[in-house]
Amino acid sequence: MKKLLAGTVGTVLALGGLGVATATPAAAATPDVQAGCSSLYVTLDGYPEGTSFVATVDGETVEDVLFDGYHTLWYDVDGSIAHAWSVVVDAPGDVDDFSDGGTTVPCGDPPSDWFYADAYCGNLNVSLGGFPAGSTVTVAVDAEALTEGVVDEYGSYWFGTRLDEWSGQTWQVVVDAEDDAFDRSDSGVSSCGSGGEIVVPETPPALTDCAATPEDARLPSDSAAVSYSRGDDGIVATAASGYEFPGGAGTTGEWRALGDGRLLLEWSSVVRPRCELEVVSVTPVCEAGAPFVDIVVNPPAGVDESSFLISWEGPNSGYDVVYGDAGFGHPWVTREPWPGFVTHGDGSVSPAYDETWRLDDIDLVLGASEWVDGWTYSRSYRAVWEDAPTSDPCADDPGPHFSVDVSQRWLAGKLYLSVRVLNEGDSTADVSVVTPFGRKHFPRVAAGASAYQAFAVRTTEPVEGQVDVSFTADVDGEQVTRERAVPFWLGG
């Protein structure tokens, strides 16, 4: 026996932005098992993280993996004899569990070919083996050719695609071989349902009270067409005899198919508690000529500061995001760089990077979130600090004034740490730069000019550090020195 193919594709959810962190509605968990005379082929799609898959042939385990999302197995067997096989899928929450098994039928006398084509809901799969190399395989959907392929040198061909799971589509597969004995064709209509009357489950309003839990959720009232029950993962809707949901085993809005005709509305779609985030203070600060804003909030109990996000937004909150958040979180007591604004004569405000974007008002939007009961649902915390500090905290600072830009740069295939110090004052300045990769002194840098140096990075590993800058210039007849530390991170 020989395993030909086994692959797993994982998925990643990234939570970002302010407000509620919600799980993306999962796709329908769909198993597809094809046991031919000489191979076992399994496709699993739309399964949650942590799903286990075990396949056995003749009592021997040929695959035992954990996967997330999509997984396939193609396992060759001796086609001259029968083989007992089984597949078991164990998914978190049990709603997507699946098992199947049986015995393969030995391939007959030549031509010993096998041919499979079927469309289950939104999945059209075509596979064949034992056909003459070069035979053409045409796949058409709704009378239009979708693809035309050829059988490979091993006598095999496989094709899969997604169809519209919301409405039936007519499909046809035609195999044309030089030897007419191998010609094959099959056709059908993609369908998930049983032909019953279509009914849409009722979606209850989301619970947004800060203390809301799944126990507070009220089930929709049962009807002659749909009944509702409370499950571990959410609300389960079951269609009565003679009825079916749109898409059958597909999805209906936020409802997710369980694969047995029932639908699940996960608690994260029903329970969305919103809480107030207590802001202690927001204070503009000028430190050694550099503008900052000190932000202090009262941390919600049990919430990790990695979820604390900060953004500067205009009147249309959520859309007028002037300065967003990188999404890595902040300490509950933090000093953040003042991002830079321009105030016009009419009182409107623009971000420093685009003075044509004028806004009547800028607010500081603060938020945090936490997952409750594992990953069952999330609770969000939010606060809006109106009239955010848009005036430069260092507008009245006597100086000396300078700015520092630190970045990575590639020169002739080598990595360098680029440092530029701009003299923003009106007199010459002495500048010193110290980095982990060297130091440089720049005497008498003219007003409006820059001191620049690219330091060779003598490592291929990622490195994190800081650049220390000393800047000395004349201020009202006195030599004044200011120092500034600028952190950096190089990816290697």
* CATH number of the domain enclosing 459: 2.60.40
Question: Which residues partner with 441 through β-bridges?
Answer: 432
Domain match, 252 and 333 both: no
Domain match, 411 and 477 both: yes
Q: Is the dihedral of CA 315, 320, 322, 324 positive or negative?
A: positive
In single-letter form, the type of residue at position 46 comes to G
Domain match, 35 and 104 both: yes
Domain match, 207 and 264 both: yes
Domain match, 23 and 141 both: yes
Domain match, 300 and 359 both: yes
CB within 8 A of 37, min separation 6: which ones? 79, 104, 105, 106, 107, 108, 112, 114
31 Cα distance to chain centroid: 23
What pLDDT sits at residue 244? 83
CB within 8 A of 40, min separation 6: which ones? 33, 34, 55, 57, 62, 73, 74, 75, 77, 85, 87, 104
Residue 15 lies in a domain: yes
What pLDDT sits at residue 22? 35
Domain match, 379 and 462 both: no
Of 320, 354, 385, the last residue of a domain is 385
Which candidate, 93, 123, 132, 94, places its Cα nearest to that of 33? Answer: 123
What pLDDT sits at residue 26? 42
Cβ–Cβ < 8 Å for 381, 276: yes
- The strands making up 438-445's β-sheet, listed across from edge to edge, are 438-445, 429-435, 463-475, 478-490
Residue 392 lies in a domain: no
Q: How many separate domains does the chain show?
A: 4
* pLDDT, one tens digit for every residue, the chain (492 residues): 333 333 333 333 333 333 333 333 344 678 888 888 788 989 898 888 889 999 999 999 999 999 988 899 989 888 778 899 999 999 888 778 889 998 887 775 444 577 888 876 668 889 988 889 999 999 999 889 999 999 998 889 999 988 776 566 788 999 998 888 888 988 887 766 556 788 889 999 999 999 999 999 999 999 999 999 999 999 999 999 888 887 544 455 789 888 777 899 999 999 999 999 999 999 999 998 889 999 999 999 999 999 999 999 999 888 899 999 988 899 999 999 999 999 999 999 999 999 999 999 999 999 999 999 988 999 999 999 999 999 999 999 999 999 999 999 999 889 999 999 999 999 999 999 999 999 999 999 999 999 999 999 988 888 999 999 999 999 999 999 999 999 999 875
The SS3 of residue 290 is strand
DSSP states of 353-366: T-TT--BS--EEEE
Domain match, 29 and 175 both: yes
Cβ–Cβ < 8 Å for 247, 165: yes
What pLDDT sits at residue 252? 59
What pLDDT sits at residue 25? 39
Of 270, 289, 304, the last residue of a domain is 270
Domain match, 354 and 448 both: no
Residue 395 lies in a domain: no
Count Cβ atoms below 10 Å from residue 10 Cβ, excluding itself: 10
Q: Which domain holds residue 314?
A: 279-385
The SS3 of residue 285 is strand
Residue 284 lies in a domain: yes
Residue 172 lies in a domain: yes
Cβ–Cβ < 8 Å for 378, 300: no
Of 161, 189, 217, the last residue of a domain is 189
Residue 480 lies in a domain: yes
Domain match, 155 and 57 both: yes
Count Cβ atoms below 10 Å from residue 122 Cβ, excluding itself: 23
Where are the extended beta strands (E) located within 58-210? Answer: 60-76, 84-90, 98-103, 114-120, 123-129, 136-141, 144-150, 157-162, 170-176, 184-189, 197-198
What pLDDT sits at residue 85? 93
Domain match, 421 and 462 both: yes
Give me 320's structure tokens: 């007028």
Domain match, 265 and 285 both: no
Residue 393 lies in a domain: no
CB within 8 A of 435, min separation 6: which ones? 417, 419, 455, 465, 467, 468
Residue 410 lies in a domain: yes
What pLDDT sits at residue 108? 59
What pLDDT sits at residue 109? 46
